[in-house]
Amino acid sequence: MKRSRSGCTWRTAWFGCCLAWAVSAAFAARSSDPANAGVFSPTTDEEHGDLARKSDLLHSPAWQRVVAEFGSWLSSQSIYTPAEVRRIKVQFNSQVAAMSSYEVEYLLESIAAKMRLLDTPEARDAKAWLGEYLSAMSDARRAQALRNVPSILDMSADQLWQEIQRIDALRATLRQRQQGVESRQTTLVERAGGSRQATANASREAAARARSAPVHSPYRSGGGSLPFSDIPPRQMSIGVGPMGASIML
């Protein structure tokens, strides 16, 4: 189901507000801590400057664009379950809240690099195939298959690319196995078809021989020769005696 642009914009704005709120809350908690009240810190100005720089980064178009792309990918991917997606978002917010402006800047570059990789044809093909592959599994098998898949936040861009290549290699291996199975099935079908054809040919030949065979004995009406034709046949004669007529062979 397609998601509207306004919905994505609203979620992006909400996501950004959550991040800004987390950063502000952390700073307010630090400022309101009685242990820090009245204590002069030589780094206060530096911390204020870093927080201002971090706030500028979190409200920049580049950050908003990367967060929107990352959120859209999380919504459309089929690797992580909804519970895992929620965990990734919570982890992301917590990390950003605790980061300095320079760490946020590095995170921005890292996520942007990962998004560029995920938008390549190889990554899109791997994503589509993996979705179909996992959807055919039971919940238990799917959980086992994904047990060693690291969180996208914990991977560098190089590690993400290696994971994409690993999925592509798995797809090629399974495709070769499937082709081998289909080839063997085709051979068995062809052999079965040849056997049926041979049986049918033999049946037709037997039927043809039966139709051409004579329908009466060859010994009737003087046709053919008798068995043991080298023995001359005995002559039959009729005699008349005291007891009456008799037949002699």
Return d(Cα 172, Cα 101) in angstroms, integer: 43
Q: Calculate the CA dihedral of residues 127, 132, 138, 139 and round it to 10 degrees.
A: 30
| pLDDT, tens only, 131-142 | 787 777 777 887
What pTM value is reported for the model? 0.52
**Alpha carbon of residue 152 to chain centroid:** 20
Average pLDDT score, the chain: 74
In the predicted model, is pLDDT for residue 108 greater than 70? yes
Q: Measure the CA–CA gap between 118 and 66, rounded to whole angstroms.
A: 12
Q: Model confidence over 6-26: pLDDT tens digits?
A: 444 555 555 555 555 554 545
**Tens digit of pLDDT for each residue in 25-84?**
454 444 444 444 444 444 577 888 899 999 999 999 999 999 999 999 999 887 888 888
- 8 A C-beta contact, residue 10 and residue 67: no
* Percentage of residues in the chain having pLDDT higher than 70: 61
Handedness of CA 143, 161, 171, 78 (dihedral sign): positive
In tens, the pLDDT along 87-99 reads 999 999 999 999 9
